[in-house]
Structure 1
Amino acid sequence: MPLDSAAFVALINAHQALIQRVCRLYCQGADDRQDLYQEIVLQLWRAYPHYEPRAKVSTWLYRVALNVAISDLRQRTRKPSAARFGDTMPDLALPLDAGPDADDLAQLYRAIERLSEVEKAFVLLYLEERTYEEIADILGITQNNVRVKMHRVQEKLRQLLTHPA
């Protein structure tokens, strides 16, 4: 696929919320979310010429975004003071709702933060109402493996929510 910057910008604009949700799930601070957002967009730009239009664009976006987020998280845990990109991008993270369920939502986010990188990916895709087939494609595993892992993640979240540390 030839590099078409206008088409790429339109693609990012159309799927900005998807990227923001990945950033929110893998980063707590606004600065880290900004940095991760920039890194995901950069990696999408680098991968864009190799995108196969026969694959669903959301599957490709998720795969790149999750791989970048997991790699970034692993790098941050090894080098917490590593230099990052500049502060030019606005905070695009989705804010927590201040409605009547805000406490429950905050408790859920605290529980999710305690999950592993891969477990967080399952939660994100589940909350995005992706089918097991789509999750399998995005994560590169079988649908049966998705079912097993999804059940384990759900059980772990139940435990974390009933017995918060």
Structure 2
Amino acid sequence: MYMNHVEEQQDLFQEIVMQLWKAYPTFKGNSKFSTWMYRVALNTALVYFKKDKRKVDKTPLDENIDIIDVNESELKEEKLAYLYKAVQELNSIEKALIFLFLENQSHKEIAENLGISEVNARVKLNRTKEKLQFIIKKNGYEF
């Protein structure tokens, strides 16, 4: 979700794996391993994103395929592509919130991963969902 192109996604994945490898000796077991892993991965993604200051590709999607005779699988893929395009307009923290939400993380787990309170996680997540809905409507991504 953080990178637009496959090559950039692969670079970020390698960076996350490297940081996990380096940070593993510091894992103290105070939280679940998966929570610790999410936190390291998320922090790495945020730092990587800020460091490279990648530009968001804002090409319009109006030139996409005609939806006549599109089967269910293609329709789902198109909806997912629209969601990813909309997510690209969010800032890095909002992307992290949506990513963790889509991973079925609880508000408590999201808060732990981002280092914020559970109440703050709920508020930020609700605001981010509203912003995402606005972006989807604004860009005509609705079906």
TM-score by length of 1: 0.70
| Residue 125 in structure 1 maps to residue 100 in structure 2 | yes
SS in 1 for 2:4: coil
% identical equivalent positions: 43
Structure 1 runs (4+) greater than 2 angstroms displaced:
none
Aligned to 1:39: 15
Mapping for residues 23-38 of structure 1, pairs under 5 Å = 25-38=1-14
Please show how residues 126-165 of structure 1 align to structure 2 within 5 Å.
126-164=101-139
Unpaired runs of 5+ residues, structure 1, are 1-24, 79-97
| 1:50 equivalent in structure 2 | 26
1:99 CA displacement = 3.1
Deviations 1:97-134 (A, max 9, x none): x5331221111110001100000000011001111111
Per the TM alignment, residue 76 of structure 1 is displaced from its structure 2 partner at its CA by 1.2
Output the TM-score relative to the length of structure 2. 0.81
Following the alignment from structure 1 to structure 2, what is the Cα–Cα distance between the partners of residues 114 and 27?
12
Secondary structure, aligned partner of 1:159? helix
The alignment partner of 1:26 has SS state of coil
Aligned residues: 124
Amino acid at match of 2:86: A
AA of the residue aligned to 2:32: K
The Cα offsets for residues 33-92 of structure 1, whole Å up to 9 and x where unpaired, read as 1111111111111110011224111111111111111111111117xxxxxxxxxxxxxx
Structure 2 Cα separation of the partners of residues 122 and 116 of structure 1 = 10
Q: What is the RMSD computed on CA atoms of the aligned residues?
A: 1.9
SS of residue paired to 2:24: helix
Counterpart-to-counterpart distance in 2, 1:143 and 1:136: 5
Per the alignment, residue 52 of structure 2 pairs with 76
Q: Which residue of 1 aligns with 2:64?
A: none
